[in-house]
Structure 1
Amino acid sequence: MPIGEFGGAPPEATEAAPVLTTPLYWMYEMGQASLNPLRAMSDATKLLFQNPLNPLAHTDVGKSIAASCELFERTTRRYGKPEWGIKDVEVAGMRVPVTIQTIWERPFCKLLHFERMVARPPRTPQPRVLLVAPMSGHYATLLRGTVEAFLPNHEVYITDWADARMVPLSAGRFDLDDYIDYVIEMLQFLGDNVHVVAVCQPSVPVLAAAALMETSRDPHVPLSMTLMGGPIDTRRNPTAVNNLAQERGIDWFRNTVITRVPFPHPGFMRDVYPGFLQLNGFVSMNLDRHIDAHKNLFRHLVEGDGDSAQKHREFYDEYLAVMDLTAEYYLQTVDTVFVKHALPKGEMTHRGKPIDLSQIVRIALMTVEGEKDDISGLGQTEAAHALCSSLSADKKVHYVQKGVGHYGVFNGSRFRSEIVPRISDFMQNAAQGRKLHVVSRRPNARSAVD
Structure 2
Amino acid sequence: MTIRDADNAPPPSPLEGGFGLSSPLYWFYEMTHVALNPSRAMAHAAHAFFKSPSNPASNTSLGKSISAACELFERATRRYSQPEWDIEHTVVDGKFAPVSIETVWERPFCRMLHFDRQVGIMHKPDPRVLLIAPLSGHYATLLRGTVEALLPEHDVYITDWIDARMVPMSDGRFDLDDYIDYIIGMLRLLGSDTHVMAVCQPGVPALCAISVMEANEETHVPESLTLMGSPIDTRISPTQVNQVAEKRGIDWFRRNVITKVPFPNPGFMRDVYPGFLQLNGFMSMNLDRHMEAHSKLFQHLVEGDGDSATAHRDFYDEYLAVMDLTAEFYLQTIDAVFIRHALPDGKFIHRGIKVDPSKIKRVALMTIEGEQDDITGLGQTQAAQTLCVNIPEHKKVHYVQPGVGHYGVFNGSRFRNEILPRITAFIRAND
Q: TM-score range by the shorter chain?
A: over 0.9
Q: Residues 53 and 20 (structure 1 numbering): CA distance in 2 closer, same or farther, change over 3 Å?
A: closer
Q: Distance in 2 between matches of 1:200 and 1:311?
A: 25
Please say if residues 6 and 338 of structure 1, whose CA atoms lie closer than 8 Å, have aligned partners that are also in contact.
no
1:75-114 alignment, distance < 5 Å:
75-114=76-115
The residue aligned with 1:366 is 366
The residue aligned with 1:444 is none
The residue aligned with 1:441 is none
The residue aligned with 2:59 is 58
Q: Does 1:203 align with 2:197?
A: no
Larger-gyration structure (1/2): 1
For 1:130-151, what per-residue CA distance to the aligned partner results, in whole angstroms no more than 9, with x for missing partners? Answer: 0000000000011000100000
TM-score normalized by the length of structure 2: 0.95
TM superposition shift of 1:220: 0.5
Q: Secondary structure at the match of 2:160?
A: strand
CA RMSD of aligned residues (A): 1.4
TM superposition shift of 1:352: 1.2
| Paired amino acid for 1:277 | L
Taking only the aligned residue pairs, the percentage that are identical comes to 66
Q: Distance in 2 between matches of 1:117 and 1:84?
A: 17
TM superposition shift of 1:223: 0.2
The residue aligned with 1:242 is 242
Q: Distance in 1 between matches of 2:14 and 2:49?
A: 46
Q: Distance in 1 between matches of 2:317 and 2:382?
A: 33
1:203-352 alignment, distance < 5 Å:
203-352=203-352
The residue aligned with 2:22 is 21
Please say if residues 361 and 392 of structure 1, whose CA atoms lie closer than 8 Å, have aligned partners that are also in contact.
yes
| Paired amino acid for 1:120 | I
Q: Distance in 1 between matches of 2:317 and 2:156?
A: 24
TM-score normalized by the length of structure 1: 0.91
Please say if residues 3 and 278 of structure 1, whose CA atoms lie closer than 8 Å, have aligned partners that are also in contact.
no
TM superposition shift of 1:120: 2.3
Q: Does 1:386 align with 2:386?
A: yes
Please say if residues 136 and 201 of structure 1, whose CA atoms lie closer than 8 Å, have aligned partners that are also in contact.
yes
| Paired amino acid for 2:131 | L
TM superposition shift of 1:38: 0.4
| Paired amino acid for 2:82 | K
Q: Residues 359 and 5 (structure 1 numbering): CA distance in 2 closer, same or farther, change over 3 Å?
A: farther
Please say if residues 5 and 376 of structure 1, whose CA atoms lie closer than 8 Å, have aligned partners that are also in contact.
no
TM superposition shift of 1:62: 1.4
Please say if residues 3 and 136 of structure 1, whose CA atoms lie closer than 8 Å, have aligned partners that are also in contact.
no
Q: Distance in 2 between matches of 1:138 and 1:5?
A: 9
Q: Distance in 2 between matches of 1:121 and 1:36?
A: 55
Q: Structure 1: which 5+ residue stretches go unaligned? A: 8-18, 432-450
TM superposition shift of 1:396: 0.6
Q: Secondary structure at the match of 1:67?
A: helix
Q: Distance in 1 between matches of 2:408 and 2:374?
A: 11
The residue aligned with 2:408 is 408
Q: Distance in 2 between matches of 1:93 and 1:395?
A: 31
TM superposition shift of 1:163: 0.4
TM superposition shift of 1:3: 10
Please say if residues 372 and 406 of structure 2, whose CA atoms lie closer than 8 Å, have aligned partners that are also in contact.
yes
TM superposition shift of 1:248: 0.7
The residue aligned with 2:31 is 30
Q: Secondary structure at the match of 1:122?
A: coil
Q: Distance in 2 between matches of 1:293 and 1:352?
A: 49
Please say if residues 187 and 221 of structure 2, whose CA atoms lie closer than 8 Å, have aligned partners that are also in contact.
yes
Q: Secondary structure at the match of 1:120?
A: coil
Q: Distance in 1 between matches of 2:239 and 2:295?
A: 29
For 1:258-281, what per-residue CA distance to the aligned partner results, in whole angstroms no more than 9, with x for missing partners? Answer: 000011111010000011111001
TM superposition shift of 1:288: 1.1
Question: How many residues align structurally?
Answer: 418
Please say if residues 137 and 324 of structure 2, whose CA atoms lie closer than 8 Å, have aligned partners that are also in contact.
yes
Q: Structure 2: which 5+ residue stretches go unaligned? A: 1-9
Q: Distance in 2 between matches of 1:76 and 1:139?
A: 20
TM superposition shift of 1:52: 2.2
TM superposition shift of 1:46: 0.9
